[in-house]
Amino acid sequence: MRPRHRPWEEAADFQIGLRPIAPEDWLEGGEADPAARKDPLFAASRGLVWAEADGSRPGQAEAADLIAAALGPAPAPAELPPLYAAARRLPDDLCLMEKRDGEWRLTALSLSAGSFFTAQEVIGRSLGELHGPVTGFADRFLVRVQRIFEGLRPDLVLERRNWTVLNSNALHTPSSAPIRARIGEIGPSQAASALSLRVERQTLRRLPRTGGALFTIRVWLAPLGSLAGQPERLAAFAHAWRSATPELRAYKRFDLYDDLVESFLADPQPA
């Protein structure tokens, strides 16, 4: 398994990184039965993976229509909220952003592959509040990101990606603590298989009827060892790892993985 996206080859710092893509490339697909993964979480851990604000159903329905237009129509179980019914057809998570009291806020989300946050924690948050933990976001990015939401044309599909390294190959990672608690169990020779490259591919598009925006998050995972045997890819990853800014390293807790990653880079075995 090779990583499908390699965003570490592009930037060593936080970035907005939104670029337009062809509308036909919007959803990448590639998971046979997303509902089989999402439905048990929706049943057993609802608050971790689903939340909706009052008044969000029209926006949810428009988001579901957009998905149906892309994938073709499918019967939606009437008892499910429209955004969740749409999300269970896709590998991606779906976040509905709507303007409330002058702020872009998260009004519904299906978050089955959350990266250290949960649906119930973030529902209702503004763009500024969502990004409170991201070093420098308010000073460097917030105003520009708000403008992007304001100016989003209906025919535009934007994509951005980010990445990290984690000692987990699970998609559903609501909390960092149980994962980080296991780092000490990994020996240097196990780094190739025990560490994963975790890439998020995110897209953004306007919902023209209700005025909101749909933000999608797709998580791709590959073992670190998938880079073995590819000298240029390895060199690019090593450069990204070592040249990441102190703020990015601190935010992603690269310090916890430095020894393991360097062991792998010194002797890059396949996973």
| Interacting residue ranges for ligand HEM, rule: CB under 6 A | 14, 16, 18, 95, 97, 106, 117, 122, 130-131, 133-134, 145, 160, 162, 204, 215
CA dist., res. 114 & res. 173, Å (int): 6
How far apart CA 93 and CA 87 sit, in angstroms, is 6
- Residues whose CB falls within 8 Å of the CB of residue 67, separated by 6 or more in sequence, listed in order: 27, 86, 89, 90, 94
CA dihedral (116, 100, 67, 46) positive or negative: positive
State which residue, 76 or 116, has the beta carbon closest to ligand HEM: 116
Closer to ligand HEM by CB, 58 or 251: give it.
251
* Shortest distance, position 104 Cβ to ligand HEM, whole Å: 8
Q: Which residues pair with 200 in a beta bridge?
A: 162, 219
Nearer to ligand HEM (CB atom), residue 13 or residue 259: 13
Minimum Å gap between C-beta 106 and ligand HEM is: 5
Given the complex with ligand HEM, which of 18 and 221 has the nearer CB atom?
18
Check residue 183 and report its DSSP letter: G
Pair of tokens at residue 91: 């590998």
C-beta closer to ligand HEM: residue 130 or 222 = 130
Could you tell me the smallest distance in angstroms from the CB atom of residue 102 to ligand HEM?
17
Q: CB of 38: closest distance to ligand HEM in angstroms?
A: 17
DSSP 77: -
CB 270, min distance to ligand HEM, A: 28
The total number of residues shown for the chain amounts to 271
Residue, CB closest to ligand HEM? 162
Phi, psi of 233 (to 5 degrees): -65, -40
